[in-house]
A and B are shown apart, each in its own frame.
Chain A
Amino acid sequence: MIEARGLTKRYGTTVAVDDLSFEVRPGQVTGFLGPNGSGKSTTMRMIMGLDHPSAGSVTVNGRRYGDLPRPLREVGALLEAKAIHPGRSAYNHLWCLAQTNGIPRSRVDAVLELVGLADVARRRAGAFSLGMGQRLGMAAALLGDPGVLLFDEPVNGLDPEGIRWVRNLLKGLAAEGRTVFVSSHLMSEMALTADHLVVIGRGRLIADLPVQEFIAQSSRQYVRARSPEPARLAELLRSAGATVVAETDGSLTVTGLAMADVGEVAARNQVVLHELSPQAGSLEDAFMELTNDSVEYRGDVTTDAAAAARHAPVGALTTDPLSDLAR
């Protein structure tokens, strides 16, 4: 269980995290979602006691991180892929961490086995590939068999196999009843992994709700139709009151008319349909809608330039190469 209360972090006049309050509960994967630079990593570092909050507080299992008697036995974290001395072997890296918290050597061997690094445990970590480094970070997080786990962008830079491995690991850990808090700027990844979402933008809380609710609440519903006579079908649907957009792949995106009615119109006019399917807007759309709302809500004193600047990090999401996976 993680509880943040009015958590705030200022760097000079910049507010990185702004009065953030949320809870992360056990037994589910909680996604921590926000554009790059929205304050996710800063929040995670404050949870782990690495950065000092400017105001507010955050506790893990009811205590400040620094007050945990054996921190690694309660909390494990993968904050960055690179929290490893490249000259030290994987085994020694884990062993020097284990020693501080009274964790036996047998557990070091066990986590190396678990993440599939047992064969290279004696090799210098600097020679590891990105994926192997990420696994070593995972092993460090799991070292104390903790009930609370934090992962900051754990799939960054991983290949598809590595991504699937991380996803399964996170779900498995949550299924064991642990508290799993994982940050990402990828909506698509969160949709596949998380059960619950904490969404932030510009350091402020935007949403705190189950993933399904988030998708249903925020995304536009529409109907996709395919026909050998797209132009005629589009004309007929428009006259029935729908808004129709012809897509480049030849399909029609129909809004303002229920799917059944689209079928009726086609049947009455004897237009052949090859596809008729309900569609939900992409998660990125939903995410951007949410973050845009928050920008508008706070926009009472903004100039156009400032508003544009605020949109910029959100816009970066559209280049996400994995966004199609969520559709």
Chain B
Amino acid sequence: MTTTTPPNAVPAGTAVPLSPATGRLSPVDVLRSEWTKLRSVRSTVWSLAALAVATVGLGAIITAVSNNRWRTFTLVERLSFDPTSRSLRGVFLAQLAIGVLGILVITSEYGTGMIRATLTAVPRRPLVLAAKTAVFGAVALVVSEVVTFAAFFVGQSLLKSPVPHATLGQPGVARAVVGSGIYLAVLGLFALGIGSLIRHTAGAISIFVGALLILPLILNAFPASVQQTLSKFLPLTVLQAMISTQPRPDTFAPWTGLGLMAIYAAVVLVAAGVLFVRRDA
């Protein structure tokens, strides 16, 4: 441990005189600050790396396996084979990475006490949450698009004739790739909202994983008719529809599903915003 010698004289203000304060807190300044926060902690790098590995890596493995097992596929399997969907399977795993990062963006501030420094610097709380949401949303969207496109191209390159592969120009393919990236970003915002409501990392991750993975299991216990009606509303079902180039009978249309996800995220974020303003920090 390095020890530092404390300076004895304390001319606090005279060291570097600041020019007189002008202006007010501005959204641009708060956005810049949130960007600094996001890129200056390791958890961001690790979560985004996990996101990339899950999406691209898992997609590549699943596609390569399909390529190698093509000879054993039945005719029905061959006819329904969707190379785009195969290469985007990794997005299912990537959901966890983007969710954890979205949660950490806010819960790490509570866990470390940083939230008090943040709100002391910017007491206008709606501005803080809005800036956090905007910066994280933008980063999540850019990174998600990059990794879904990468997963698609890597996956297709692994499919060798006679196995069919997809190109972006084919119907539904570009929608599936772009849409999966947007889905991940929206899911991340949903997670950020959960994090802001719960304020504890472990609790928020539990609820997020519960909504994502446990809800479908609970639904399995219900009669088939109820399952069919309700399972459309699950995030996993929305994602299944999104990565497919073919329409699926038991899901909403891809963009409708994404709209539903956006509503979930918006509801959670608005609730989080209301509580963020009302609660003691």
Contact with A along B118-132 (1 / 0, CB 8 A): 111111100000000
Q: Which of B142-156 contact A (CB under 8 A)?
A: none
Please report whether the interface of chain B is mostly helix, strand, loop or mixed according to DSSP.
loop
Complex: A45 Cα to B116 Cα, angstroms = 9
Contact with A along B43-80 (1 / 0, CB 8 A): 10000000000000000000000000000000000000
* Residue among A97, A107, A109 having the largest count of chain B Cβ atoms under 10 Å: A97
Q: What is the distance, in angstroms, from B20's C-beta to the closest C-beta of chain A?
A: 8
- Chain A residue numbers with a CB within 8 Å of B119 are 49-50
A216 at the interface (CB under 8 A from B): no
B109 at the interface (CB under 8 A from A): yes
Complex: A53 Cα to B24 Cα, angstroms = 25
Q: What is the distance, in angstroms, from A12's C-beta to the closest C-beta of chain B?
A: 13
Q: From the candidates B21, B33, B281, name the one contacting A144 in the complex (CB within 8 A).
A: B21
Contact with A along B2-36 (1 / 0, CB 8 A): 11111111111111111001111110011011101
B218 at the interface (CB under 8 A from A): no
Could you tell me if B120 and A129 are in contact, using CB atoms closer than 8 angstroms? no
Q: What is the distance, in angstroms, from A246's C-beta to the closest C-beta of chain B?
A: 44
Complex: A101 Cα to B8 Cα, angstroms = 28
- Chain A residue numbers with a CB within 8 Å of B26 are 102
Cβ-closest chain A residue relative to B11: A172
- Chain A residue numbers with a CB within 8 Å of B115 are 83
Could you tell me if B25 and A50 are in contact, using CB atoms closer than 8 angstroms? no
A79 at the interface (CB under 8 A from B): yes
B108 at the interface (CB under 8 A from A): yes
- Chain A residue numbers with a CB within 8 Å of B42 are 87
- Chain B residue numbers with a CB within 8 Å of A144 are 18, 21
A117 at the interface (CB under 8 A from B): yes
Q: From the candidates B17, B29, B124, B280, name the one contacting A145 in the complex (CB within 8 A).
A: B17
* Residue among B9, B21, B26 having the largest count of chain A Cβ atoms under 10 Å: B21
- Chain A residue numbers with a CB within 8 Å of B217 are none
Could you tell me if A107 and B36 are in contact, using CB atoms closer than 8 angstroms? no
Could you tell me if A71 and B12 are in contact, using CB atoms closer than 8 angstroms? no
- Chain A residue numbers with a CB within 8 Å of B14 are 176
Q: From the candidates B10, B34, B108, name the one contacting A169 in the complex (CB within 8 A).
A: B10
Cβ-closest chain A residue relative to B127: A100
A119 at the interface (CB under 8 A from B): yes
- Chain B residue numbers with a CB within 8 Å of A96 are 33-34, 36-37, 40
Q: What is the distance, in angstroms, from A173's C-beta to the closest C-beta of chain B?
A: 5
Could you tell me if A116 and B280 are in contact, using CB atoms closer than 8 angstroms? no
Residues of chain B whose beta carbon lies under 8 Å from any beta carbon of chain A: 1-18, 21-26, 29-30, 32-34, 36-37, 40-43, 108-109, 112-124, 278, 280-281
